[in-house]
Structure 1
Amino acid sequence: MLDIAPLVRVHVDALLAAQIDMGVCDANERNAPVGKPVDMSAPHLPKVAGIDSTVPSPAHTTAPVPPVIPTAAPLPGIPGEMIQDRLASWVSDLTTLHELTERLVTTGSLDEALREVLRAGAALVGARRGMAVLEPADGLGPASTVGLGLAHAELGTIETVPRSATSYGRILDGLPEPAGSRTVPDPIAVPDLLGEAELDPRHREVAARLGYAASYALPLATEAAGKLGAVVWLYDEPAEPVERQRHLVGLYGRYATEHLARLLELERARVQVATVAEELLPSRLPRVPGVQLAARHRTGPQGGGDWYDALPLPEGALGLAVGSVSGTGPSALAAMGRLRASLRAYAVMEGEDPVAVLSDLELLLRLTEPARSATALFAYSEPKQRKLVLAGAGHTPPLIIGDHRTEFVETSLSAPLGMLACWEAPSIEIAPAPGETVLLYTDGLLRRTGDPMDRAFARLHAAAASVPKADRTDPGAIADHVLRTLLPEGLDTAGAGEDVVLLAARFE
């Protein structure tokens, strides 16, 4: 067996790299042995964090070399056990940080991440309440304020205090960053807020009203990400975090800032994509006698190619269209814009024949964008006669919603545009009764439910059938009810990647 000196019999291989970052080398140096074993012929392990990890190799023919006994006076306890106790404390801290960062990384939106930072930081510094302010230094937004243990009105009350009088305000409005550099502000601790003689009177009044007596503010900033905001925790009694708590929350804050920077970049990209998509779609729906129109649209975070259109045609007719282009991102948005513009041109020339419109669109797509496919549905409507002639290319069937029936329109089966050398499918004619609504939609609405398509169709039918009678006179109310029923968490759910389009036409 190896005769290992008890002064170095400590399993630290998994912790030494972490303890360097935790600032613990000084503790190891204080507890390091005075002497060390005699050098042997075996290779020496490297020294890490001030601990001599040299271990004698096993002796096969000679007796093991006894360790050198320190000549200093013995300590009250065994140094190895003291190191193990300290390492146990570090293991606990590292485990806590690991658990908190694992929870943070699961957040998918800025507000959700800020709330998690508040909760985790409150546990680390021993506070009960707090607020986080997101305010990127580049001024491009978005800006947000969330609270922990503070109601919306209480957050507003705190914001009435002059920013220069608050610790988080001094972090946010600190000195301008020098050109080409990103400085990180220091945390600000106020251990006895009401005891400060120079405290702003308004701040004193608000603190007394809300019942907090101390604060600890941490910047959400790193050299790589820049200054994104600040978070402040509030204590009910005079207090401040100890050095160990400050160190832990500082490590957590740096990681949280990098995570927030990634979410901020994604949010800005999503807003830009949504803005482009909205600009490519109709800015307003036309007013045509005999029909009421309403549309609901939401672009996914990656930018899909779902679209809709409603355009007035000669002799009081109306063209209705919905479609979806394959792919996501800017290229899909550009293709969607080209496809919609082409369909409008074909609809003006030969809109009374939906099959001809989609045939021309199929030919155009096949010649100009052979690597892309699309679905489309086009309906030529004469509102005064309450008549629709429609044709679809791989698209989901419309839904008729009325007082006496809720049913899908049986359209002819067809492959999507761009999938066949020559596309043609017969059109069908439907005659909605007075007060009935024809609902056009894209398959993104069905996919957002997370159910198989047959189950999603059944849920859509049930949602349409459950529209309250009072809402059936308003196509917008019908579309909203269907959305609320199918997607109770809303259209802006984090992680929802599918576009959603609804176009409702109610015939008088």
Structure 2
Amino acid sequence: MASNAPVGKPTDMSSPRLPKVAGIDSTVPAPPDTVAPLPGVPSAAPPSDAALPPGVLIQDRLASWVSDLTTLHELTERLIKTDSLDGALREMLGAGAALVGARRGMAVLEPADGLGPTSTIGLGLAHADLGTIETVPRGSGSYGRLLDGLPEADPPGAGLPDADPPGAGLPWNGPTAPRRPARVPEPIAIRDVRTEEGLDPRHREVAARLGYAASYALPLATEEAGRLGAAVWLYDEPAEPDERRRHLIGLYGRFATEHLARLLQVERARARVATVAEELLPSRLPRVPGVRLAVRHLTGPQGGGDWYDALPLPEGALGLAVGSVSGTGPSALAAMGRLRASLRAYAVMEGEDPVAVLSDLELLLRLTEPARSATALFAYAEPAQRRIVLAGAGHAPPLVVGDHRTEFVETSLSAPLGMLTCWEAPSVELSPAPGETVLLYTDGLLRRTGDATDRAFARLHAAASSVPRTDRSDPGAVADHVLRTLLPGGLDPAVEGEDVVLLAARFE
């Protein structure tokens, strides 16, 4: 954030005055080291004049509480809009700096269960500065003590009263024994690094090198979420937040931890889905003389059923396939794996006739999974002759990219697999010129653009036409250029469950 970026060392740092609430102008005491508040977010501090008349004092306190609630509301609203772990950590770090009156800080994500992911984010600290801080012995640093000192949970029966609790008779030491949530450690404030007792000499050395004199560390942990990490804010002068600021950062920290816990679950689920999807697809593409292959596969958060295959066939032939199974999640992934395995078997037996391959696949899908549909395209390629015979079932046509043409292949129209009454669409034959690349892709590539179908096809054609000539000899570079042009921001989050597959085959 621009407001939390490093600035020169201030001479008289203070928070701005709170806006008037119900006619009350609350004065904010000057903390020893602070930054300007986040844009649009008022700072919060209690009134300091205890000699006010009772009515005015009560009104002043009410105005202060309203200001605190407004501050927390605006900060949490900004936090909840983040949809990634790194984004949430950066937002939390900047908001926390404004609340505790610090200029720099560091957040460490390190879930206690050891399943990851882990990351370290800095505010006003370069990458080298973060590395320098990490040279301090972990047990000496405040954030390290928070990360290592939080137990997962109390043992069964720990801290239980002597009297029988509700539900007496339960086997407290047995498998059904209730377990208490994890304890949350207290924040650690170091008011002056130079005079603090028990600090490792390396800690003082690093503080002097980076120019900070005090720190305030907050655990990113709640009883429900457990320990997710820790955040530490650094002051340029000896300082520590007052009781009110501690209370505010504590409330915000608990909310931020719960938000991080939700994002962590999403990230882990996404990683598991991507792992399963990759395991169901080829681990590597085959090497066949006369053709070079490249593939790009992007998986959405829920995992779709898009797939691809490249299979060496007898007499130097090559089978290329792309397809998509309806649905999302584990069931779609399982169906995709079964469909791909079946197509490989049919391709080995009768690959030179793509219509027969897809006809057998249609019959299998109709008999074994009548509630599911799928699209598929299978191409029988003879690289030595630069000849391709292909057939599709409800699938988008391939795109040929070369120096002299960029055009879609005219394929016969057919309904998706599982929706046919009889097979009527014949195969088509294609003869790519030397140096031309044939792009096979799934419908997810078009849908992820967020455009209507006709416009998505036009954008795909324009992206393929704009591939630089220097990149056209590399099928991977062609695929990357098309993806960057069509999806400059990655997968469109508004389109759930759609994977993207782009298979490029360049003929020599």
Q: Does 1:103 align with 2:78?
A: yes
Secondary structure of 2:467's partner? coil
CA distance in 1, matches of 2:491, 2:255: 30
Question: Would you say the 8 A contact 2:286–2:311 is kept in 1?
Answer: yes
Q: Which amino acid aligns with 1:222?
A: T
* C-alpha separation in 1, matches of 2:249 and 2:495: 28
Asked whether the 8 Å contact 2:216–2:232 carries over to 1, the reply is yes
Report the equivalent of 1:15.
none
- CA RMSD after TM alignment: 1.9
Taking the TM superposition and a 5 Å limit, the aligned residue runs for 1:13-162 are 79-162=54-137
| TM-score of the pair, normalised by structure 1 | 0.83
Percent identity of the aligned residues?
84
- Which residue number in structure 1 is paired with residue 447 of structure 2? 447
TM-score by length of 2: 0.83
Query: Does the residue aligned with 1:194 lie in a helix, a strand or coil?
Result: coil
Distance change (3 Å), C-alpha of 1:467 and 1:422: same
Q: Distance in 1 between matches of 2:420 and 2:86?
A: 46
Structure number, greater radius of gyration? 1
**8 Å contact kept, 2:150–2:227:** no
Map of 2:394 onto structure 1: 394
C-alpha deviation, 1:76, in angstroms: 7.0
- Counterpart CA distance in 1 for 2:52 and 2:233 is 39
Can you give the 5+ residue segments of structure 2 that lack an aligned partner in the other structure? Answer: 1-21, 23-45, 156-178
Residue type at the aligned position of 1:201: P
User: What are the Cα deviations for residues 281-330 of structure 1, in whole angstroms up to 9, with x where unaligned?
Assistant: 00111111111111111211101000000001111111000000111000
Cα distance, 1:353 vs. partner? 1.0
Residue type at the aligned position of 2:144: G
Return the offset for 1:198: 3.7
CA-CA distance at 1:410 after TM superposition: 1.3
2:265 corresponds to: 265
Matched, 1:314 2:284: no
C-alpha separation in 1, matches of 2:218 and 2:413: 61
Distance in structure 2 (CA, Å) of the matches to 1:281 and 1:401: 25
Task: Provide closer, same or farther for how the CA distance between residues 252 and 212 of structure 1 changes in structure 2, counting only shifts above 3 A.
Answer: same
| Distance in 2 between residues matched to 1:76 and 1:165, nearest whole Å | 43
Spell out the pairing of 1:169-188 with structure 2 (5 A cutoff).
169-174=144-149, 176-177=151-152, 178-179=154-155, 180-181=179-180, 182-188=182-188
Q: Partners in 2 of 1:256 and 1:117 — Cα distance?
A: 7
Counting matched residue pairs gives: 436
Give, as a single letter, the amino acid of the residue that structure 2 aligns with 1:336: M
Contact 2:104 2:125 in 1 (8 A): yes
Report the Cα offset of residue 241 of structure 1: 0.7
Per-residue CA shift, 1:342-369, capped at 9, x if unaligned? 1111111111111111111111111111
- Given residue 143 of structure 1, which amino acid in structure 2 is its aligned partner? T
Q: How far does residue 415 in structure 1 lie from its aligned partner after superposition?
A: 1.3
Q: Per the alignment, in what secondary structure is the counterpart of residue 60 of structure 2?
A: helix
**Partner of 2:392: helix, strand, or coil?**
strand
Q: Structure 1 residues 81, 153: closer, same or farther in 2, change over 3 A?
A: same
Contact 1:359–1:424 (8 Å) recurs in 2: no
Go from structure 1 to structure 2 and tell me whether the alpha carbon gap of 1:496 and 1:119 turns closer, same or farther (over 3 Å shift).
farther
Aligned residue for 1:284, secondary structure, equals coil
The SS at the match of 2:220 is strand
Checking the alignment, whether the CA contact within 8 Å between 1:401 and 1:437 is kept in structure 2 is yes
Structure 2 match to 1:201: 201
CA distance 1:76–1:198, change in 2 (3 Å): closer
Q: Structure 1 residues 134-143 or 168-177, which shifts more?
A: 168-177
CA distance in 2, matches of 1:373, 1:226: 43
Corresponding residue number in structure 1 for 2:348: 348
CA distance in 2, matches of 1:203, 1:458: 60
CA contact (8 A) 2:447 2:495 kept: no
CA distance 1:439–1:109, change in 2 (3 Å) = same
Cα distance in structure 1, aligned partners of 2:76 and 2:90: 13
| AA in 2 matched with 1:502 | L
One-letter code of the match for 1:272?
R
Paired with 2:93 and 2:184, the residues of 1 have a C-alpha distance of 20
d(CA) in 2 for partners of 1:239, 1:209: 18
Q: CA distance change for structure 1 residues 498 and 350 in 2, over 3 Å: closer, same or farther?
A: same
Q: Aligned letter for 1:278?
A: E
Q: Which residue of 1 aligns with 2:435?
A: 435
Long gaps (5+) in structure 1? 1-10, 12-26, 28-74
CA distance in 2, matches of 1:239, 1:497: 50
Aligned residue for 2:327, secondary structure, equals: coil
